[in-house]
Structure 1
Amino acid sequence: MKEQRPQSPLFAKTYDMVVWLIPLTLKFPKAQRFLLAERLGGMALDFYDLIAQAVMEPELQGELLHRADRVLARIRLYVRLSHDLQCMSLGQYEHAALRLDEIGRLLGGWLRKRRRDGV
C-alpha cells in the first residue's frame, strides 16, 4: 500500500527549511559540529517528523502540533546561538529567522483553526 505523502503548506515549508539547514550545519566549525550542529539538525528533523505525523494522523493532531510548537521554539533558540557563536553568518541567520517565522505563522494558523473548529 502506498503511504500518503503530506502536502500541507507547513509541511512543504518545513521540508525546504530542513533541506537548507542540514547542509549548513555540516559546515559548522569542527568544535561545534558534534554538539550544536547535531542538536540543531536533530531538532529540525524532529519538527519535520511531528508535522508529517500531524498531517497523516488527524486523531493525534492536537498533541503533535503542540509538541511541534515547543520544538520550533527550541530551534529558534539554537539558530540564534549558532549565529552568536559565529557558526552562521548574519545573512544565514536572517534567512533562517525569516523561514522559521513563516513556519511559526503557519503552525499558529493551523492551531487556531483547530480551536475555531472545536477540535
Structure 2
Amino acid sequence: MNRPQGRGATALEKHYGFLLWLLPTVEQFPRGQKFLLGDRLQTAALTVLECLIDATYSRRPESALAKANLELEKLRVLFRLAHDLHHVDGRRYEFAARSLDEVGRLVGGWRRALQAQSGHGDGAP
C-alpha cells in the first residue's frame, strides 16, 4: 500500500496514534460503561480514521472531512462525559482533549486549503 503524503498523512498518523492510546484506555472503563460509553468512543474514533483514509485517497475529500469533523466533535463531548463520570482521570482527559484538538486543527486546515483551491482563495474580488 502506498503511504499517504501531505495533510492527509499528518492527520491520519496523529489520529492513528490517538487510537493506539484509546483502545486500551477504554478497556479500563467499568464493565457496564466499557460496552456503552466505551463502545461509542471507539466507534466514533474508528469512524474518524475511516473518514481520514477516505479523504486521503479521494479526489473529492470534502464530504469525508466534514464527517470526520463531526465525529471529532462527538468524541470531544463523549470524553467530557467519561471524565465527568470519573471513567478517565484529568491526565487522560487532557491527553484526549489535546489529541482531538490537534487532529481537529489539521482537518480544519485541510478543509480550508481545499476551499481556497476551489476558487475562494484565487485572489478574485
Normalised by the size of structure 2, how large is the TM-score? 0.88
Unmatched 5+ residue regions in structure 1?
Answer: none
**1:77-96 alpha-carbon deviations (Å, 9 max, x no partner):** 00111101111000000011
1:102 is the counterpart of 2:109: no
> Structure 1 residue 113: deviation in Å?
0.3
Q: 2 CA distance for matches of 1:45 and 1:24?
A: 15
Normalised by the size of structure 1, how large is the TM-score? 0.93
> Structure 1 residue 56: deviation in Å?
1.1
After superposing on structure 2, the runs of 4+ consecutive aligned residues of structure 1 that deviate more than 4 Å are none
Q: 1 CA distance for matches of 2:54 and 2:11?
A: 12
Q: Count residues with an aligned counterpart.
A: 116
Specify the code of the residue in structure 1 equivalent to 2:50.
D
Q: 2 CA distance for matches of 1:116 and 1:107?
A: 14
Q: 1 CA distance for matches of 2:3 and 2:46?
A: 16
Q: 2 CA distance for matches of 1:24 and 1:54?
A: 27
Q: 1 CA distance for matches of 2:67 and 2:59?
A: 14
1:93 is the counterpart of 2:93: yes
Unmatched 5+ residue regions in structure 2?
Answer: 120-125
Q: 2 CA distance for matches of 1:45 and 1:67?
A: 12
**1:52-89 alpha-carbon deviations (Å, 9 max, x no partner):** 11101123x01100011111100100011110111100
1:118 aligns to what SS in structure 2? helix
